[in-house]
Amino acid sequence: MIKRSRIAQTLRSIARAATFVTIATTIAACADVPAAFGPTPAQAKANADGLFGAFVKRFTNVERTPRYARAREMLVHNALTPSRVYGDTSLWTSSGPDGYRTLFGNATFQDGRYIFSNTVTDDPVQELGEGRHIMRLHKLNDDDYDWFTGVDFVAGTIKADEFGNVITRWLAASEGHSGAELRAAYRTQFPRTTDALGRLYSLDTLTSTRDVDGANSLYAVVHITPEGIRRIYPAYAAYMAKYADKVKLHFTLQDSRGSSWLDVTSRDGYITLHLRSRDGHFAPLDGSIRPMPDTLAMRVDLTAKIKLFTIGVEHMTGEWVNIHTEHDRGWALRFTKEPGWVLPPIVGLLIKSPLRRPFEGNGTQFRFTIHDQPGGPTLMSRRGSTTVRESAILRFIGRLGGTAMGDFVDKAEPEENRFNVVLYSALKADVDSALR
């Protein structure tokens, strides 16, 4: 539900902070981590260049054709009230008599610009950074609508098992090193990434300790510091200052025994990450060492403040599945249980039954994979599906999401794109240097 608004953008920034800081601190501590990108130094360099280079292209001088820009704006603003866009044929690239409406997006890098258009093609994505976006709306009845989104993005030549190898190596890299040693290592070996991250994120706490079971606990506290980018990216800094401090998040992964395997929190602009590993493999945060199950339970508590209103969910539980097949690495998430809702008092008086709809039947699902295609490029793929039931309460939440979206798109988004170009370029350059 809330994912449809630009609250999700702030959450992506929070996730990026936790991920990048962890990678920067651990990958730098072990000289052979960059080599995990491929079976030979040359292939490792090519894979890393492709992966990070694809994202550099994705955020460079982003443009959208007028028709695509309007469709994007209308669909995001009305994700929770789809009847407002269902009948507008100018938004869709195809409309079928079976109740389906489809928006097809083609994303290509041309002449130094990353361009989104409504161009429909059956050709597979091939070029580095090229993307295909599909948003499909299916009307079930007067009130219920199914949403499906799919994205395929060319991420170079890295294989799925090599991507998994990188994760294993960077987990192992923190093991046996103190927090002070990790800090010294990433500042020395990854200077460009350290500088890029340090503009928006401050690593306030970093501890790395080995226990009696031979496992290593990594604990980090990251502070989002918009003032550090205000001179260069004033609109993006203002957006982060307005929303990041007001997001409260607690995310955990647990197994069937109730043991936690990952814990992430965000509050007042501080992100806390806690994980445990041994020999590059995740371990439960407490207790004896054992392999991580393929299927875990996740719990999410999330609230955000927009204008004067605080909205969110409590005790939202779902299924987390680790995907590791011959050609795929990734994660599949599914939510089938309605959470507790955090709503303003006046909104709480409205009928809440429509809020259950996304969790009924197959529930709300997300899937992210790295897929290597025999004879073709490697794809990063995202899939998501949910069902909404229109109501007064969703119209209220949708208006709040529209406010956050408007704050982001006009000025903050282009500046965030520029920030991302600097960051991914720094990662690419630092890994290149490590592989020389």
- Among residues 28, 21, 17, 25, which one has the least CA distance to residue 433? 28
Q: How confident is the model at residue 4 (pLDDT cuts 50, 70, 90)?
A: very low
What is the rounded average pLDDT for all residues in the chain?
88
What tens digit of pLDDT does each residue of 364-389 get?
A: 999 999 999 999 999 999 999 999 99
Q: Which helix (H) or strand (E) holds 222?
A: strand 216-224
Identify the CA nearest to 152 among candidates 320, 373, 339. Answer: 373
Contacts of 313 (CB under 8 A, 6+ apart): 1, 2, 300, 301, 302, 303, 339, 340, 341, 342
Non-local (6+) Cβ contacts of 381 within 8 A are: 150, 151, 152, 153, 330, 367, 368, 369, 371
The kind and range of the H/E element at 350 are: none
Q: Give Cβ neighbours of residue 358 (< 8 Å, ≥ 6 apart).
A: 1, 335, 364, 386, 387, 388
Residues 231-289: pLDDT tens digits?
Answer: 999 999 998 888 888 889 999 999 999 999 999 999 998 989 999 999 999 999 999 99
Angle, helices 191-198/179-189, rounded to nearest 10 degrees: 100
Q: What are the tokens at 397?
A: 């939440």
**Are 236 and 412 spatial neighbours (Cβ–Cβ below 8 Å)?**
yes
For residue 55, the one-letter residue type is F
Residue 152 near residue 379, CB atoms below 8 Å: yes
Q: Helix or strand or coil: residue 391?
A: coil
pLDDT at 348: 60
Mean pLDDT of 135-140: 96
């599945």: which residue's tokens? 321
- Residue 94 in tokens: 């195809």
The predicted pLDDT at position 167 comes to 86
Count other Cβ atoms within 10 Å, centred on residue 130. 22
Q: Which amino acid is at 337?
A: K
Residue 18 has pLDDT above 60, yes or no: no
5: pLDDT strictly greater than 50: no
User: How many CB atoms sit inside 10 A of residue 42's CB?
Assistant: 10
Residue 215 has pLDDT above 90, yes or no: yes
In 255-377, beta strands by DSSP E: 260-267, 270-278, 281-283, 295-306, 309-324, 328-335, 340-342, 364-372
* Tens-place pLDDT, residues 24-35: 444 445 555 677
Q: What is the mean pLDDT of residues 151-167?
A: 94
Label residue 189 by pLDDT band (50, 70, 90). Answer: confident
How far is the C-alpha of 413 from the C-alpha of 59, rounded, in Å? 10
